[in-house]
């Protein structure tokens, strides 16, 4: 296996500083890892594009949808995307996965570890936020689907993962 680019090595280093185990995919500028979030298991890929000095973080979680629920789930993801500033949701039809993708262009060859970590945290948080909403949609009885309000579903806060508490050091800031 050829060594990773400076860009991908900076991602590997950032992951290591966070204590995240990852492995490089042979022959590609990609590392992969996995996270257990509050609501779901997330497979995460980080792909460096050295020629662009860019990094794409892609998180994905399984969500099988039947023919009746698929259009509603796609609408749910589209409505969620309208609320986002960074990144966006997709649905992989072939593999039945909800996907969150966020990309950043960097000024330097060595990517800033804080930005890399923030991108990963964003992907995890957004997938963990949307998963229970998609599950509600998926578990709604067929005869009640027409009554399900997706805008109201997106406003539900009772399904949000708990907000991590800040450590004492952060509280002093």
Query: Computed over its alpha carbons, how large is the radius of gyration of the chain?
Result: 18
Q: What is the domain extent for residue 116? A: 6-158
- Quote the CA–CA distance of 75 and 137 in Å, as a whole number: 11
Query: What pTM was estimated for this model as a whole?
Result: 0.90
Phi, psi of 168 (to 5 degrees): -60, -40
How many CB atoms lie under 10 A from the CB of residue 170? 8
Give how many domains the chain has, as a whole number: 1
Q: What is the DSSP letter of 160?
A: S
CATH number of the domain at 95, please: 3.30.1460.70
pLDDT tens for each residue of 84-122: 999 999 999 999 999 999 999 999 999 999 999 999 999
| Residue 91 domain-assigned (yes or no) | yes
């Amino acid at each position: 296996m050829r060594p990773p680019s400076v860009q991908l090595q900076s991602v590997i280093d950032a992951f290591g500083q966070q204590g995240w185990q990852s492995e490089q995919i042979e022959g590609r500028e990609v590392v992969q890892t996995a996270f257990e979030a509050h609501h779901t298991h997330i497979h995460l890929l980080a792909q460096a594009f050295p020629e662009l000095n860019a990094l794409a973080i892609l998180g994905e979680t399984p969500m099988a949808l039947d023919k009746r629920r698929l259009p509603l789930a796609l609408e749910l993801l589209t409505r969620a995307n309208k609320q986002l500033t960074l990144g966006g949701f997709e649905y992989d039809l072939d593999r039945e996965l909800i996907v969150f993708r966020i990309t950043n262009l960097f000024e330097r060859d060595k990517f800033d570890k804080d930005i890399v970590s923030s991108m990963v945290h964003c992907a995890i948080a957004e997938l963990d936020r949307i998963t229970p909403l998609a599950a509600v949609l998926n578990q709604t009885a067929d005869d009640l689907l027409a009554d399900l309000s997706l805008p109201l579903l997106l406003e539900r806060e009772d399904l949000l993962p708990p907000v991590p508490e800040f450590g004492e050091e952060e509280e002093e800031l």
